[in-house]
Homo-oligomer: A and B are copies of this chain.
Amino acid sequence: MIASTPKPPYYAVIFTSVRTELDNGYEEMANAMVDLARQQDGFLGVESARNDVGITVSYWRDEEAIKAWRENTAHALARRFGREMWYQSFKTRVAKVERDYGFEIEM
């Protein structure tokens, strides 16, 4: 769903990817990585969807939190599998969220 993030500024890591046709535990690993990310200090939320292209946006308190997650051993292993098996191509963009606004129907 839509991530509940605090007032900006905070960071977004936009990960866009095209999958190969190999499975080999991709879904399990992807879910495990989201669970693990949620436990990291400075993690603010995540949004994800996939059709022809997959987009996962994770939100973080600051650059230090992103760096610590990048250095997490299990995450580094998952990224290696990603390059070797699961992704035909990907792009990662690190961006500082400067402002945001939203809308929700009152139910």
Residues of A participating in the B interface, judged by any CB pair closer than 8 Å: 1-3, 5, 8, 12, 14, 16-18, 20, 47-55, 57, 83, 87-105
Assess the B54–A57 pair: CB atoms within 8 A. no
Each complex incorporates copies of this chain amounting to: 2
- What is the CB-to-nearest-CB distance from A97 to chain B, in angstroms, rounded to a whole number? 4
Assess the A96–B93 pair: CB atoms within 8 A. no
Assess the A90–B2 pair: CB atoms within 8 A. yes
Assess the A104–B92 pair: CB atoms within 8 A. no
- What is the CB-to-nearest-CB distance from A103 to chain B, in angstroms, rounded to a whole number? 5
Query: Complex: how many Å from CA A104 to CA B92?
Result: 12
Assess the A92–B102 pair: CB atoms within 8 A. yes
Assess the A92–B96 pair: CB atoms within 8 A. no
Query: Complex: how many Å from CA A105 to CA B83?
Result: 8
